[in-house]
Amino acid sequence: MTTEEQRKRSEEQDQYSAGSIQVLEGLEAVRKRPAMYIGDVGIRGLHHLVYEVVDNSIDEALAGFCSQIDVTINEDSSITVVDNGRGIPVEMHEKEKRSALEVVMTVLHAGGKFDKDSYKVSGGLHGVGVSCVNALSSRMTVEVMRQGKKWSQSYERGKPLAPVSQDGLSDGSGTITTFMPDDTIFQTVDFKFDILAARLRELAFLNKNILLTLTDRREVAENGNEQHHVTERFFSERGLMEFVEYLDVNRERLTDKVIYINYDKGDIPVELALQYNTSFSENVHSYVNNINTIEGGTHLAGFRRGLTRTLKKYAEDSGMTSKLKFDINGDDFREGLTSVISVKVAEPQFEGQTKTKLGNTEVMGAVDIAVSNALSNYLEENPKDARSIVQKVILAATARHAARKARELVQRKNVLSGSGLPGKLADCADRDPSVSEIFLVEGDSAGGTAKQGRDRRFQAILPLRGKILNVEKAMQHKIFDNEEIKNIFTALGVTIGTEDDSKALNTSGLRYAKVIIMTDADVDGSHITTLIMTFFFRYMKELIENGHIYIATPPLYLVKKGKSEKYCWSEEEREAAVQELGQGKEAGVVIQRYKGLGEMNAEQLWGTTMSPDTRTLRQVTIDSAAEADHIFSMLMGDEVPPRREFIERHAKYANIDA
Ligand code: 0RA
């Protein structure tokens, strides 16, 4: 919805909400078509409910009245959000003839209307109003502490159970919101600690000096003899500067300090932090009113423009680029650059497929000017850093030219050699991508078993030799020189690079709807999966975003007794199988631990891991781009990381064939 439509809609709401019947109809609409309001009714939509409630408290903090927000996943999986703001107003609403609190909770888009002076920044993607959360909750309770008193009201599916009541006295002020998502609406009501933690961490970086906490009461952690609930605290004093440091934990920095720009003199506050590192990828994360603008937009365009022009001018004036035989383009200025840009826009226009692209044209110039001014000052004041940056840019331009040659070679080879498909690929018979799948298999031997076991009509196999290149640490021309990576590109039918954008991806020729990574269920296998996922994340992100990337899950155990066999994917399943087959006695039960795909024969591999009727595939999704970036930089850096755990946590468990 555009802001214009939103305004019209809320005006309509005002006219119609004279009687309570219409008001209830308003929330009925949310229950009838929840996806229209919160995006979807899956795991994403579920977590949006929490963001919505937290956003209101963040607004209160941005208005200067709230310093702490505590989020709790309760034992019964409901959510409680506590803030120490002024408390939602409870006085009589003139027009509505009932408490303002009740109006906020039961009228669509009524949030934030009572205080026209406060700077309300949330909006767009969420910002649908806490009444939507109420509508989609089987029950909800709001408690307000204000002026020494305490008020509360409870609801079921958005309907008040009683008028707002004053229940007692209070010391401080604030708002406590508790809600239980309606399990008749959501596919799952199981909140994920990590997803909420990633968002709260992001909010802490984006809004410095607010303490955010997340507690999980479903779990109890043991600490010596003491038991306590798992709580994580998120607080940032240096905001975006710390955000960039967090994203780059394991990357080697090119300059000592993060460059920080905070420009809030004009109508559009611009905050920006950037740091060059020795890697070769660009990691830019952009936000508008705390919303991650995945598709970019005018703020990002302004940033790029300001950065390119300022650095180019500095490089030319310094004479460092005078001997260069080829041009430097925009890409070169951003290789190895990690940055976060955050703008606050009063009436944001969100466009694009997922409504995460900023459209307001006035923002472009504002960001451009902020970046140019601050960056040229920085370069003048820090000549040593400036030289390092320009040298890095020259290196990037040089590598880009080498990469283009390597890439052209790859593409020419494809055109010349008939089908152009890699020799190692055992392709499927069907040419319809929508029903075809490809398994990327670790090692030639497992590849051989998979070739025997597969259904060749729709399943293709591409064996990969040993460890694949760590793209996080390699230069671009090395990447396109790598045999396994070339094979992945050509087998998938995906091409990369155009004249003006060396990383532009063309997926229109994608030959398989499902790209399935299949590796051993051991530490090495996890490492290889991580390397392949890093490659997809950096070079074929669209395939992840469009739901094409999956991880196969081979079994961990085979429990046998006589002729009876049971495959198991967890310790619990193994225990259960031992009980079942042993019938309490356990005698004669043999447990076989599978470590490698090679330990299974073709038939077993088909039955457990490849057959759409029996397998479980994990779909790879990106819940938080910033968190994924941080994790990949951590995993692929020098320190040995908990990779297995990472994969377990970040690959969504989805039996998509069922
Ligand atoms: C508008 C006005 C005032 C408070 C709030 C909004 C408010 C809303 C939420 C939602 C969650 N927590 C909140 N805290 C405060 C107060 C106006 C006044 O006191 O004069």
264 vs 308: which has the higher pLDDT: 308
| Residue 100 · residue 91 · CB < 8 Å | yes
Active-site residue, 524 included: yes
Helix axis angle, 523-539 to 625-635, nearest 10° = 130
131: its two tokens = 């009444």
Supply the mean pLDDT for the chain. 86
DSSP, collapsed to helix, strand or coil, labels residue 83 as strand
* CB 274, CB 244: distance < 8 Å: yes
What's at 168, amino acid-wise?
A: G
59 CB within 6 A, ligand 1: no
Q: CA 484, 487, 488 angle in degrees (round to 5)?
A: 90
Stronger pLDDT, 502 or 506, i.e. the higher one: 506
- Is 16's C-beta closer than 6 angstroms to any atom of ligand 1? no
Residue 129 Cβ contacting ligand 1 at under 6 Å? no
**pLDDT > 80? residue 407:** no
Interval between CA 289 and ligand 1 midpoint (Å): 18
Question: 155: which strand partners?
Answer: 140, 160
Most informative mutation of 88, 141, 142, 210 for ligand 1 (most atoms within 8 A of CB): 88
Q: What values do phi and psi take at 549, rounded to 5? A: -100, 130
Ligand 1 atom at shortest distance from the alpha carbon of 86? 15
**Residue whose entry in the numeric block shows the structure tokens 């919805």:** 1
Q: Where are the beta strands (DSSP E) in 237-331?
A: 259-263, 270-276, 283-288, 291-292, 296-297
Half-sphere exposure of 623 (CA within 13 A, CB side): 24
Active-site residue, from 70, 202, 248, 442? 442
Q: Which two tokens stand for residue 245?
A: 């440091």
CA 88 to ligand 1 center in whole angstroms: 4
| Ligand 1 centre distance from Cα of residue 209 (Å) | 19
Q: Please tell me the distance from the alpha carbon of residue 547 to that of residue 436, in angstroms, as a whole number.
A: 14
- Which range, of 325-329, 341-345, 450-454, 609-613, averages the lowest pLDDT? 325-329
Closest residue by Cα to atom 9, ligand 1, is 88
Active site (annotated) includes residue 522: yes
Q: 188 and 45 in contact (C-beta within 8 Å)?
A: no
Q: Please, where are the H alpha helices in 464-540?
A: 476-481, 483-492, 523-539
Question: 288, 345 in Cβ contact below 8 A?
Answer: yes
Tell me, in angstroms, the distance from the centre of ligand 1 to residue 83's CA.
Answer: 10
Whole-angstrom CA distances from 341 to 244, 336, 370, 626 are: 10, 16, 11, 12
Query: Distance between CA atoms of 481 and 72, rounded to whole angstroms?
Result: 50
Under a CB-based contact definition with an 8 Å cutoff, are residues 248 and 338 in contact?
yes
Closest CA to 58 of 50, 70, 66: 66
Q: How far is CA 249 from the centre of its chain?
A: 18
Distant-in-sequence, close-in-space partners of 620: CB < 8 Å, separation ≥ 6: 533, 536, 544, 549, 550, 551, 650, 651, 652
Which distant-in-sequence residues (6+ apart) come within 8 Å of 74 by Cβ? 80, 178, 217, 218
Task: Ligand 1, residue 53: give the atom nearest the CA.
Answer: 11
Q: State the pLDDT confidence band at 650, using cuts at 50, 70 and 90.
A: low
- Ligand 1 centroid – CA 86 distance (Å): 5
Residue carrying the six token digits 């089987």: 138
Using a 6 Å cutoff on CB, does residue 88 contact ligand 1?
Answer: yes
The response to whether residue 91 sits with its C-beta less than 6 Å from ligand 1 reads no
Amino acid letter at 373? N
Nearest residue CA, atom 14 of ligand 1?
Answer: 87
| pLDDT number for residue 467 | 67
The candidate with the shortest Cα–Cα distance to 257, out of 284, 277, 239, is 277
Q: Tokens standing for 429?
A: 């018979």
The pLDDT score that the predictor gives to residue 653 is 41
**Count of positions (residues) in the chain:** 658
How many A from CA of 93 to the centre of ligand 1? 14
Q: Residue 174 CA: which ligand 1 atom is closest?
A: 14
| Residue (of 139, 140, 138) closest to 182 by Cα position | 138
For ligand 1, say whether the CB of 86 is within 6 Å of any of its atoms.
yes
Active-site residue identified among 522, 565, 599, 623:
522
Ligand 1 center to residue 55 CA distance, Å? 12
**pLDDT tens-digit series, residues 236-269:** 999 999 999 999 988 889 998 999 999 887 789 9
Question: Taking the CA of residue 487 as centre, how many other CA atoms within 13 Å lie in the half-sphere pointing to its CB?
Answer: 21
- Separation of 90 CA from ligand 1 center, angstroms? 10
CB of 56 closer than 6 angstroms to any ligand 1 atom:
yes
Residues in a beta bridge with 230: 216
Yes or no: say if 561 and 591 are a contact pair by the CB < 8 Å rule.
no
Closest Cα to atom 4, ligand 1: which residue?
A: 88
Closest ligand 1 atom number to CA of residue 85 = 14
Nearest CA to 273 among 234, 314, 303, 311? 303
| Ligand 1 atom at shortest distance from the alpha carbon of 146 | 19
Does the structure show a pLDDT above 50 at 350?
yes
Rounded distance from Cα 142 to ligand 1 centre (Å): 13
Give residue 163's pLDDT: 95
Give the Cβ contact number of residue 374 at 10 Å: 19
Q: What pLDDT score was predicted for residue 22? A: 42
Whether residue 623 has pLDDT greater than 80:
yes
Write the residue with the smallest CA distance to atom 12 of ligand 1.
57
Task: State residue 39's pLDDT score.
Answer: 87
Q: How far is the CA of 373 from the centre of ligand 1 (A)?
A: 37
Q: Is 211 helix (H, G, I), strand (E, B) or coil?
A: strand
Distance 85 CA to ligand 1 centre (A): 7
- Most confident range (mean pLDDT) of 141-155, 434-448, 613-627, 634-648 is 141-155
Contact residues for 164 (Cβ-Cβ < 8 A; gap 6+): 90, 98, 99, 101, 102, 151, 152, 153
- Residue whose CB lies within 8 A of the most ligand 1 atoms, among 50, 51, 53, 59, for a mutation test: 59
Closest-CA residue, ligand 1 atom 10, reads 56
Give yes or no for residue 81 CB within 6 A of ligand 1. Answer: no
Spacing, Cα 207 to ligand 1 middle (Å)? 18
Establish whether residue 115 lines the binding site of ligand 1, counting it when its CB lies within 6 angstroms of any ligand atom. yes
Q: How confident is the model at residue 651 (pLDDT cuts 50, 70, 90)?
A: low
Q: What is the DSSP letter of 637?
A: S
Whether ligand 1 lies within 6 angstroms of the CB of 52 is answered as no
Q: List the structure tokens of 636.
A: 């692929």
- φ/ψ of residue 649, rounded to 5: -80, -30
* 60 close to ligand 1 (CB < 6 Angstrom): yes
Assess whether the C-beta atom of 175 lies below 6 angstroms from ligand 1: yes
pLDDT of residue 402: 79
Protein residue whose Cα sits closest to atom 2 of ligand 1: 115
The answer on pLDDT for 341 being more than 50 is: yes
Helices (H), 79-176: 100-106, 130-135
CA 349 – CA 298 distance, rounded (Å) = 10
For ligand 1, whether the C-beta of 113 sits within 6 Å is: no
Active site residue 332: no
Show the tokens assigned to 255.
């300059």
DSSP helix/strand/coil, 573:
helix
Is pLDDT above 50 for 11?
no
- Distance, in Å, from the CA atom of 190 to the CA atom of 346, rounded to the nearest integer, reads 34
How many angstroms separate the CA atoms of 31 and 186, rounded?
11
Q: Quick one: how far is CA 395 from the chain centroid?
A: 31
The better pLDDT of the pair 224, 514 is held by 514
| End-to-end C-alpha distance for the chain, whole angstroms | 35
More confident residue, 240 or 637: 240
Higher pLDDT among residues 159 and 267, named by residue: 159
Task: Judge contact between 292 and 625, C-beta under 8 A.
Answer: yes
Q: What tokens appear for 234 in the block?
A: 């998120």
Of the candidates 28, 295, 524, 599, the residue annotated as catalytic is 524
Q: Which residues fall within 8 angstroms of residue 546, CB to CB, at 6 or more apart?
A: 507
Is the per-residue pLDDT at 30 higher than 60? yes
